[in-house]
Amino acid sequence: MTLEESKKWTAFLRGYDKTLLTAKKDKKKSEELAELDRWFSEVLPESISSRTPPSMNKDELVKLMEWKLQRGKFRPLMNKLKANGEDTVRMCTTEAFGILESLPLSLPGDLRGGGKKGGKAVELSDKVIASVVSKTVKALKVLTQMKAVGPATASAIACAYRADVIPFFSDELAATACKSTKLQYNLKEYEEIQAFALRLCGRLLMAPPGAGDAGPSTGPSSSSSPSSGFPSASWDCRAVERAVWVSVRASSVGEDCGPGPSVRGASGSEATLSSGGAAGRGKGKKRGSEAVSGDGSEPSKSLKTKGKGKGPVVEIDDD
């Protein structure tokens, strides 16, 4: 990754707070979204980790869904979600977080050495990525046992505990990472998304110095706000998802972000984010037989690609 590309990604991530505050036509709703986002990224992780063993309660699950619905495409899921009992929520999240505790990687520390478990630097190899993805999917399957919790919501729950290596399954990140042009919101797609985010995170962490601070450390023990200062090059999977989210939102409102940084998709091919839009994707094959209803609703039709060649623009329906 070139210095210029690294600077571009840094600029996208630095624009996250501003983009949140302009995400809705109604200023008050945008402010509510920003407050929910702060709760999701700062307060919730601390609440989860403060319990022995780590877990979430029902009220937190409902509030997490509020964050998810406001940040993305609205889907009428709340009543079904509220049907989950308190014991079910605690049991499923405790089991899932226990699985995630054994992930063989923490970012950004493990790539430099002396990370979460200390010791030598870990190479972000295909084998390590495959192991992280496999264990994450195992945890997501536990979480999807709850009513109205599909892979996307499950990824948000897991992200609240291990944001360093688990990105949220947002429409924007999926549009960038997945080979298929028609999302089914299933676990196969999430495997692509997480592998993509980990590889991009690794490239950003190894980028030439001089791009400036990327963003706040968003790992499981962090409570930094975007404006509070953070170590240089503190990229992780949450930061990658936020940067992609900003790039797509910028494109959807017609902002000229200039030539975008290149990304490497799930197939390993190089693509470019054009004017802040999503990276070009191969057509791929539909996975209808493998489809899992992401969150108890029909797959979102909010993302539409247009244009050919590098970096199609991604249009997003207004919430």
The CA distance from 6 to 207, in Å, is 6
What's residue 21's pLDDT?
93
From 76-80, 111-115, 242-246, 266-270, the region with the lowest mean pLDDT: 266-270
Q: What is the pLDDT of residues 175-194, one digit of tens each?
A: 999 998 899 999 999 999 99
The CA distance from 135 to 274, in Å, is 33
The CA distance from 203 to 20, in Å, is 26
pLDDT of 8 above 70: yes
Q: What is the pLDDT of residues 95-135, one digit of tens each?
A: 999 999 999 888 877 775 545 555 566 778 899 999 999 99
Tell me the C-alpha to C-alpha distance, in Å, between residue 273 and each of 46, 236, 280, 288, 317.
34, 19, 8, 28, 20
For residue 84, which amino acid is it?
Answer: N
Check residues 288 and 200 and name the one with the higher pLDDT.
200
Strands (E), 209-286: 259-264, 270-274
Q: Encoding tokens for residue 254?
A: 């017609």
Three-state DSSP at 303 gives strand
The CA distance from 83 to 148, in Å, is 9
Q: What is the pLDDT of residues 159-174, one digit of tens each?
A: 999 999 999 999 999 9
The CA distance from 67 to 295, in Å, is 14
What's residue 37's pLDDT?
98
Residue showing tokens 């209808």: 288
Q: Encoding tokens for residue 257?
A: 């972000």
Contact assessment for residue 170 and residue 278, using Cβ atoms and an 8 Å cutoff? no
Residue 193, domain extent: 3-316
The CA distance from 250 to 293, in Å, is 28
Q: Encoding tokens for residue 107?
A: 């970012």
- The pTM for the full model equals 0.78
**How many other CB atoms are there within 10 angstroms of residue 210's CB atom?**
9
What's residue 299's pLDDT?
38
The band of 39, judged by pLDDT with boundaries at 50, 70 and 90, is very high
Q: Are strands 313-316 and 259-264 parallel, antiparallel or unpaired?
A: unpaired
Average pLDDT of the chain?
Answer: 78
The band of 319, judged by pLDDT with boundaries at 50, 70 and 90, is very low
What's residue 213's pLDDT?
55
pLDDT of 226 above 80: no
The CA distance from 215 to 119, in Å, is 25
Domain count, the chain: 1
**How many other CB atoms are there within 10 angstroms of residue 144's CB atom?**
23
For residue 39, which amino acid is it?
Answer: W
Highest mean pLDDT: which range of 1-5, 216-220, 238-242, 272-276? 238-242
